[in-house]
Structure 1
């Protein structure tokens, strides 16, 4: 693909794109009609202000409201501080660190306006992890919430805090700057952000996404599946460093001229309270959070919601049905990936089939392939492959050739497609359990266990076995008042045998007080696999 002339003075990102023959195909990109010069921050702010006016609410937190005019003016001032005070030039990487709040959003937009590349990081990362990100991305600058500075003492990184009361704080510097800024006219295919994949072991993988990609996820999943309007109030729990959260709480609401309620931290019960207090209409969170909200008796506090999106993990049919029964809301399931920026298979409203992920989002196409890269017949399992207007571009990483093959993005998931074109999740490709010659999908066993009223959470992996090769091992979190023990093991095993083929039942069950999860809420299956390999 021929790239447009870059506006970047620092061409590090373009210089470290993967070779052109390792890129995925982008079959629907031309349909979106983006111009050659495009700064996505300009579009996300200027267009809704021109359409709806700048005095409408843009960002809310439990303590404050920001209008579109205020957000644009603050982002402009941040761009001025970056370029005039710190000497940032277009293409420099700027690390962002902090919880979900209005200043983090303004900083993200200010970085893009300045033509720099945003590298948003999880606030829970520690110094060693941040140092790896700095080294891989050759990051020279950072804007950091003043409460999260301790782990950011990284050599070679100029750090400016925000939200504090020191003389050098970004907040004070911005107060001295005029509210206007001439946004850098970046190319549509200039890199806008570096996103690091979560759950990676070894060297973190950095994905490169262009300015056009930022708009593409709004103009596909959000426009055609979510279908928000300017009166919606978005909210949810995913951090903005997680591209699921970036789309859900920044890109999608801004593209629609809507507002976003940002929560620095919220348990499921607290999330339900904020939804009720602020009358939020669209929520993004993980399947376990939806189940947990119901467990607190919060269904009545969710009446303002008209759209709920679940991603990050497979949405079990049992959770979907219970949430619908108690709230009347049909949960929108979806699968996305950091490599493709956001959701590419989903369904909404009457198109939903509980238990299925859905169909390819308009603009994307998907297939189920065998190990040789050939399509398998409908009803057979294989490797999920995706193409669309976004796709994987790792920063100078040989794993690019593993993720992209023959123009397809291979997500690492095992799926089957039915005769109606719906895609049904089976497992992560490395989580398929082969036991005595049978293929057993861990999520199917999890779904059967979750249907038991005493099971709050569970995770299923394979455990080594001398006779069967591997056996199904379940890690279970029981509900309040239920005691673990042999009686509970037998009860759950018998329950599973009544719901799915008996050979799939968990031959080993271990009880935990909580499942190990990442900062984005994903189950850390690698830790379960490590525990399952231990005797006992």
Structure 2
């Protein structure tokens, strides 16, 4: 760190990886990043300065029929900051876990925590006692702010979390936060944090084991929005932003807080944005920007005709690759383009994407301004255009794991973040996502990208959604298997399975076709709408073990 930290509690600072294990993070690559001051509280930059920019009366948060202006949000956040400091003795550097669906109080509590110099950790409403216990103990969390309807698992976790000294509820309880703030001032002197003081910790989904805590500084949050949103999506103060991701995930947090409020726009919050609920939200609030997943847009296609989406000007898809078929059908039927993007928890937000004038269907896009992205072979040499390799990235943001030196060593090489994603870079500099390094299907000596097979199957007019994985096979090691959800479940048959197999053979190399097809009523999804291919691989592994008995 170049500036003296404001943190009195130094647990997170003490458990950052050693600085020689950090990736290279260059803030001179863009003029707006180079102008960042050495001391910065991101809550001041996003919220307090919104008032100075003349946005005080503009809507900031919309929820059901309630609207908070930027001035309203600032006042509520300041009152909560005063509660945290005066009533719960929060000192700079302490951790506050936030537990709620998408709700205005969640955003206010997030700002309040950062204003007071705390470190905010958002958590999914669906997390159970065991998962909460792990996160709280890993980060030595001192305070929790939670929706009262989610008290059960948090109270159970509390018994096994010695660092957690208080739980504050809103929406119910004996002394809800709403009543505590009434006696507090709407003014608060924000803590003068260093730009590289930790501000938030995002826990990954844990697909490779226990969830990993990724630490992000105050300046990182601004940089994420100034690069991707400022240069690619270009949100402005007239925009109304909606979407399906939960604020508990970094994609949702960025979308509804910095991506929106850095530019004076307003966020529409929905606690559970199913495809139809999201379409209703767009129509009701005349939303202009929508954040979702490729799977989310695919599912919304089934209901488009019932809703007025003429207010939309742009859509953003993150979390997984966007199939060309979904992009084209969405654009044809709505007239709106979907900006695809690739981001990872370690870098906070999206770093590969393309604006509306540069979209190339079937690709993720190009490196977002401010970032450098390469595709390399096993010797860390750049691959030729069209060749598969591992994607590596560097930019203003980078990986810093909480208390995990070994994982940090494996993630960083020569200043580059090793993403674990396999990609192809074409002649024009566009990146095509192939798979996670552990997701490629090795069948009979051939490497097959399940996503490539999925993209073909999605072009068939009977297929609603599909997941392609490698299934254990005694002769080939693995075979390509497709789990398919049909638009009309009644049409599932062996004859259709053969038709789909031949359909794939006609489009791509024959060795890539799915030798096994299983029709399902519904594919498993994460809370953010991603298809849970890991669960399907686990299912196939268990079936193979049973067959071997």
Q: Which range, TM-score by smaller chain?
A: over 0.9
- Which of 354, 363, 382 aligns to 1:356? It is 363
1:151 alignment counterpart: 153
SS of the residue corresponding to residue 482 of structure 2 reads strand
Show CA shifts across 1:333-362 (max 9, x none). 000011000000000212000011000000
Show CA shifts across 1:440-476 (max 9, x none). 1000001111111111111111112222222101111
- TM-score, normalised to structure 2, is 0.95
1:449 alignment counterpart: 457
Show CA shifts across 1:308-337 (max 9, x none). 000111100110010011111111000001
The whole-number CA distance in structure 1 between the counterparts of 2:209 and 2:303 is 38
Show CA shifts across 1:180-223 (max 9, x none). 00000000000000100114343220000000001001110010
1:65 alignment counterpart: 67
The question of 1:12 aligning with 2:19 is answered no
2:190 alignment counterpart: 183
The question of 1:218 aligning with 2:217 is answered no
2:524 alignment counterpart: 516
2:537 alignment counterpart: 529
The whole-number CA distance in structure 1 between the counterparts of 2:275 and 2:168 is 30
Moved over 4 A (4+): none
Q: Is the 8 A contact 1:269 1:298 kept in 2?
A: no
2:80 alignment counterpart: 78
SS of the residue corresponding to residue 523 of structure 1 reads coil
SS of the residue corresponding to residue 54 of structure 1 reads coil
2:41 alignment counterpart: 39
Gaps of 5+ in 1: none
Matches for 1:15-414 after TM superposition, within 5 Å: 15-29=14-28, 31=30, 32=33, 33-153=35-155, 154-155=158-159, 156=162, 157-298=164-305, 300-397=307-404, 398-414=406-422
Q: Is the 8 A contact 1:160 1:170 kept in 2?
A: no
The whole-number CA distance in structure 2 between the counterparts of 1:418 and 1:201 is 29
The whole-number CA distance in structure 2 between the counterparts of 1:62 and 1:38 is 33
The whole-number CA distance in structure 1 between the counterparts of 2:208 and 2:372 is 29
The whole-number CA distance in structure 1 between the counterparts of 2:469 and 2:172 is 49
Query: How many residues are treated as equivalent by the alignment?
Result: 535
From the superposition, tell whether residues 134 and 21 of structure 1 become closer, same or farther in structure 2 (CA, over 3 Å). same
Q: Which stretch shows the higher mean deviation, 462-471 or 103-112?
A: 462-471
From the superposition, tell whether residues 29 and 91 of structure 1 become closer, same or farther in structure 2 (CA, over 3 Å). farther
Show CA shifts across 1:380-419 (max 9, x none). 1100000000010000112111221121111111001011
Q: Is the 8 A contact 2:389 2:423 kept in 1?
A: yes
SS of the residue corresponding to residue 297 of structure 1 reads helix
Show CA shifts across 1:107-162 (max 9, x none). 00000000000011011100100000011000011000111111102233234344
- Which of 501, 505, 516 aligns to 2:509? It is 501
The whole-number CA distance in structure 2 between the counterparts of 1:479 and 1:41 is 45
- Which of 426, 429, 433 aligns to 2:437? It is 429
Q: Is the 8 A contact 2:489 2:521 kept in 1?
A: no
- TM-score, normalised to structure 1, is 0.97
The whole-number CA distance in structure 1 between the counterparts of 2:20 and 2:265 is 39
The whole-number CA distance in structure 1 between the counterparts of 2:191 and 2:175 is 25
The whole-number CA distance in structure 1 between the counterparts of 2:532 and 2:298 is 19
Show CA shifts across 1:73-94 (max 9, x none). 1100111111100011000000
1:485 alignment counterpart: 493
Q: Is the 8 A contact 2:298 2:465 kept in 1?
A: no
The whole-number CA distance in structure 2 between the counterparts of 1:294 and 1:130 is 35
The whole-number CA distance in structure 1 between the counterparts of 2:366 and 2:489 is 41
- Measured after TM superposition, the shift of residue 36 of structure 1 is 1.0
Q: Is the 8 A contact 2:88 2:166 kept in 1?
A: no
- Measured after TM superposition, the shift of residue 426 of structure 1 is 1.0
The whole-number CA distance in structure 2 between the counterparts of 1:323 and 1:164 is 38
- Measured after TM superposition, the shift of residue 372 of structure 1 is 2.2
The whole-number CA distance in structure 2 between the counterparts of 1:29 and 1:384 is 23
The whole-number CA distance in structure 2 between the counterparts of 1:402 and 1:458 is 32
Q: Is the 8 A contact 2:370 2:395 kept in 1?
A: yes
Q: Is the 8 A contact 1:366 1:384 kept in 2?
A: yes
SS of the residue corresponding to residue 424 of structure 2 reads strand
